[in-house]
């Protein structure tokens, strides 16, 4: 498989790997049948915006992924994109944001960006349902 | 390229002397190869490789018979509804499997796909059970390309020969020799084997194997890529698949790949001398297998006894195959997951699925193959780096071991 430098790098040195024990939200996508399973843990913080409003943001994020190099790199890139973003902005992270930041995945691995984009949305949904 | 062209300049079909010396090269190669296969030179067809040989064997036999039936039914006692039946297995290479599936989809034939045992070996009695009156061809691979399991080709070959003899006897009793010709249901069953993985380790004597058709690919025995052989026993009728000139007994048009053919013959001649190395390769393979199986939740796919001496196909639960390969590659070790031909497809290997390997295991499978030059140091390096790779991946996995 011909991967970009970015994919190779994120696969070899994935960012934010692990679990958050007291996570505020958890998103799980994929299944064993298709071969990729992804879990995302988020911790939510509150901060003041420039115009004085309160906003919620992703203060910490971790992932665990069982899958191919593209799935691991896409998870890692997604956590980098999401970390520190407001919940609303993090929710808007798209498959193409992840794919572009990775210097494009091979066509047959594009689904890995879809998977990681839906993992972060699920984690935020999980948080919003609970709180 | 200049060097090759200066040595093999002529077109083997030309009359001039350049052409004639190319012809000599091709003829010599054909008789050298025939010697290894214990066949006649006229039974060797040069192709572009294993896939083409498989296509020519299967489509060639099926379409050849259909053509015959058609021309008969347009005259008289032919059977309009005759549909040939082909038997193959679930673990064939895609060059066989997809060819049979396509013929089936085109409604030209009906097909039976034999399931292997959990050990990855096809049983001859399952082939026997699948035979029908309209069976025209059985195609079973000699050695599986993913898990290295060796199939009982000789046993199946003898079985088919026995059934063909019985058919012949029965026909003698019930028909005059004239009507046999017009009854495709009583025609002989041909036996094809894709032997692409076999030459380095197993007997290629076509009479010993009792096969009618046998496919080989040069690069699997250290020959050049892009050239192969279809052995076709005298009396087997094939419809050509590449149309044009009258090369290869009118069965495969196209200017001969003279350099490739010469290289292939040279490589095949050397195979015999390498067979003495089989034992040392098999010892190294066992060392690799034992070393890797020390990793928890790992297991070998396919029979260990009935297996190619150079093949390890191993699954690690809770680690994904491609990720393992990428990390091995970083360590300078080349391996593959599934077969090289299917990498890039997301489906788990059809071979592992056929032998009942569950997805949680099949996704974590890799194949390591040894060659004539593989050393003990290389094997020990794999054994050394693998535990760390699996540990790293499992640590990243959301599933618990």
Whether residue A71 and residue B396 make contact (CB cut-off 8 A), yes or no, is no
Chain A nearest C-alpha distance from B368 (Å) = 17
Q: Which one from A1, A12, A19, A34 is the annotated catalytic residue?
A: A34
pLDDT for B81 equals 75
The 3-state DSSP class for residue B211 equals coil
Whether residue A35 and residue B363 make contact (CB cut-off 8 A), yes or no, is yes
Chain B nearest C-alpha distance from A63 (Å) = 8
Q: How far apart are CA B354 and CA B89, in angstroms?
A: 9
pLDDT for B217 equals 98
DSSP string, B74-106: TTSS--TT---EEEEETTS-HHHHHHHHHHHHT
Res. B336 pLDDT band, cuts 50 70 90: confident
pLDDT for B19 equals 79
Q: Which residues of B touch A34 (CB under 8 A)?
A: 346
Q: Which of A9, A66, A114 to mutate to test the interface with B (most CBs of B within 10 A)?
A: A66
Q: Which residues of B touch A111 (CB under 8 A)?
A: 346
CATH class label, B2-273: alpha beta
pLDDT for B239 equals 95
Res. B80 pLDDT band, cuts 50 70 90: low
pLDDT for B205 equals 97
* pLDDT score of B173 more than 80: no
* pLDDT score of B319 more than 80: yes
The average pLDDT across B5-10 equals 75
pLDDT tens digits for B214-255? 999 999 999 999 999 999 999 999 999 999 999 999 999 999
Q: How far apart are CA B393 and CA B216, in angstroms?
A: 38
Instruction: Give catalytic status of residue A112 as yes or no.
Output: yes
* pLDDT score of B177 more than 60: no
Whether residue B326 and residue A35 make contact (CB cut-off 8 A), yes or no, is no
Q: Cβ contacts of residue B60 below 8 Å, gap of 6+? A: B238, B239, B240, B241, B251
Take residue B265 and report the two structure tokens written for it: 């013959």
- The alpha carbons of chain B give a radius of gyration, in whole angstroms, of 23
Report the CATH number of the B276-396 domain. Answer: 3.90.1150.10
Cβ-based interface (< 8 Å): residues of B facing A: 318-323, 326, 330, 343-346, 348, 359-360, 363, 393, 395-399
Chain B nearest C-alpha distance from A117 (Å) = 17
Q: Cβ contacts of residue B100 below 8 Å, gap of 6+? A: B58, B86, B88, B92, B109, B111, B113, B139
In the sheet where B135-139 sits, what is the strand order? B44-47, B228-232, B213-217, B190-194, B135-139, B85-89, B110-114
Tens digit of each residue's pLDDT, chain A (131 residues): 689 999 999 999 999 999 999 999 999 999 877 778 999 999 999 999 888 899 999 999 999 999 999 999 999 999 999 999 999 999 999 999 999 999 999 998 999 999 999 999 999 999 999 88
Cβ atoms within 10 Å of B45's Cβ, excluding its own: 24
pLDDT for B182 equals 45
Phi, psi torsion values for A56, nearest 5 degrees: -95, 140
Q: What is the mean pLDDT of chain B?
A: 90
Instruction: Give catalytic status of residue B394 as yes or no.
Output: no
Q: How far apart are CA B300 and CA B362, in angstroms?
A: 11
Whether residue B399 and residue A37 make contact (CB cut-off 8 A), yes or no, is yes
Take residue B337 and report the two structure tokens written for it: 């997951």
pLDDT for B342 equals 46
* Domain edges within chain B: 2-273, 276-396
* pLDDT score of B8 more than 80: no
Whether residue B396 and residue A17 make contact (CB cut-off 8 A), yes or no, is yes
Res. B91 pLDDT band, cuts 50 70 90: very high
Q: Which one from A112, A117, A120, A123 is the annotated catalytic residue?
A: A112
Least confident residue range of B35-49, B169-183, B331-345, B377-391: B169-183
* pLDDT score of B184 more than 70: no
Are residues B186 and B167 in contact, defined by beta-carbon separation less than 8 angstroms?
Answer: yes
Q: How far is CA B195 from CA A12, A66, B202, B221, B262, in A?
A: 39, 36, 9, 11, 20
Q: Which residues of A touch B363 (CB under 8 A)?
A: 32, 35
Q: Which residues of B touch A64 (CB under 8 A)?
A: 396-398
pLDDT for B78 equals 52
pLDDT for B17 equals 79
Take residue A105 and report the two structure tokens written for it: 């995945």
The average pLDDT across B302-314 equals 95
Length of chain A: 131
pLDDT for A40 equals 98
Q: How far apart are CA A33 and CA A17, in angstroms?
A: 23
Q: Which of A35, A75, A106 to mutate to test the interface with B (most CBs of B within 10 A)?
A: A35
pLDDT for B186 equals 56
Please give the share of chain B, as a percent, with pLDDT higher than 90.
76
Whether residue B396 and residue A28 make contact (CB cut-off 8 A), yes or no, is no
The 3-state DSSP class for residue B16 equals coil
Q: Which one from B163, B253, B333, B341 is the annotated catalytic residue?
A: B341
Q: How far apart are CA B319 and CA B302, in angstroms?
A: 19
pLDDT for B74 equals 65
Instruction: Return the number of CB contacts < 8 Å for A and B.
Output: 58
Please give the share of chain B, as a percent, with pLDDT higher than 70.
92
Q: How far apart are CA B136 and CA B184, in angstroms?
A: 9
DSSP state of B117: P
Take residue B338 and report the two structure tokens written for it: 């599934």
Nearest beta carbon to residue A72 from set B330, B396, B399 = B396
């Amino acid at each position: 498989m011909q991967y970009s430098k970015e994919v190779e790098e994120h696969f070899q040195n994935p960012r934010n790997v692990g679990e958050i024990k007291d996570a505020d939200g958890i998103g799980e996508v994929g299944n064993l049948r298709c071969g990729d399973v992804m879990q995302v843990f988020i911790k939510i913080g509150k901060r003041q915006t420039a115009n004085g409003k309160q906003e919620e943001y992703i203060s910490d994020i971790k992932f665990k992924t069982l899958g191919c190099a593209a799935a691991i790199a896409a998870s890692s890139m997604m956590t980098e994109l999401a970390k520190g973003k407001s919940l609303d902005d993090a929710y808007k992270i798209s498959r193409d944001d992840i794919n572009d930041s990775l210097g494009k995945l091979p066509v047959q691995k594009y689904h890995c960006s879809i998977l990681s984009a839906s993992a972060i949305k699920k984690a935020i949904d999980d948080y919003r349902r609970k709180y | 390229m200049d060097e090759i062209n200066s040595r093999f300049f002529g077109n083997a079909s030309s009359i001039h002397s350049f052409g004639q010396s190319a012809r000599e090269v091709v003829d010599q190669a054909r008789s050298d190869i025939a010697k290894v296969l214990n066949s006649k030179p006229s039974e060797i067809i040069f192709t572009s490789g294993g896939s083409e040989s498989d296509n020519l064997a299967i489509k060639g036999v099926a379409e050849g018979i259909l053509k015959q039936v058609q021309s008969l039914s347009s005259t008289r006692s032919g059977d309009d509804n005759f549909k040939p039946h082909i038997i193959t297995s679930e673990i064939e290479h895609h060059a066989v499997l997809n060819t049979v599936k396509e013929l089936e989809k085109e409604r030209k034939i009906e097909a039976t796909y034999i399931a292997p045992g959990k050990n990855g070996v096809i049983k001859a009695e399952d082939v026997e059970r699948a035979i029908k009156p309209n069976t025209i061809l059985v195609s079973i691979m000699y050695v599986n390309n993913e898990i290295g399991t060796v199939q009982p080709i000789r046993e199946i070959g003898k079985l088919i020969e026995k059934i063909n003899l019985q058919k012949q006897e029965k026909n003698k009793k019930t028909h005059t020799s004239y009507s046999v010709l017009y009854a495709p249901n009583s025609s002989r069953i041909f036996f094809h084997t894709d032997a692409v993985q076999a030459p380095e380790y197993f007997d290629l004597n076509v009479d010993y194997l009792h096969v009618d058709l046998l496919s080989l690919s040069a690069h699997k025995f250290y020959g050049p890529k892009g050239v192969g052989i279809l052995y076709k026993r005298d009396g087997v009728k094939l419809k050509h698949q590449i149309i044009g000139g009258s090369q290869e007994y009118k069965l495969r048009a196209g200017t001969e790949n003279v350099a490739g053919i010469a290289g292939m013959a040279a490589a095949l001649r050397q195979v015999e001398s390498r067979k003495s190395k089989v034992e040392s390769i098999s010892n190294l393979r066992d060392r690799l297998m034992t070393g890797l199986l020390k990793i928890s939740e790992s297991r070998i796919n396919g029979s260990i006894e009935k297996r190619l001496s150079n093949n390890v196909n191993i699954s690690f639960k809770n680690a994904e195959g491609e990720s393992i390969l990428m990390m091995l590659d970083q360590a300078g070790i080349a391996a593959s997951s599934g077969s090289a031909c299917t990498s890039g497809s997301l489906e788990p290997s059809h071979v592992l699925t056929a032998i009942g390997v569950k997805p949680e295991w099949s996704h974590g499978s890799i194949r390591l193959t040894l060659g004539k030059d593989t050393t003990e140091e290389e094997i020990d390096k794999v054994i050394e780096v693998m535990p760390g790779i699996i540990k790293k991946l499992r640590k990243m996995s959301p599933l618990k071991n």
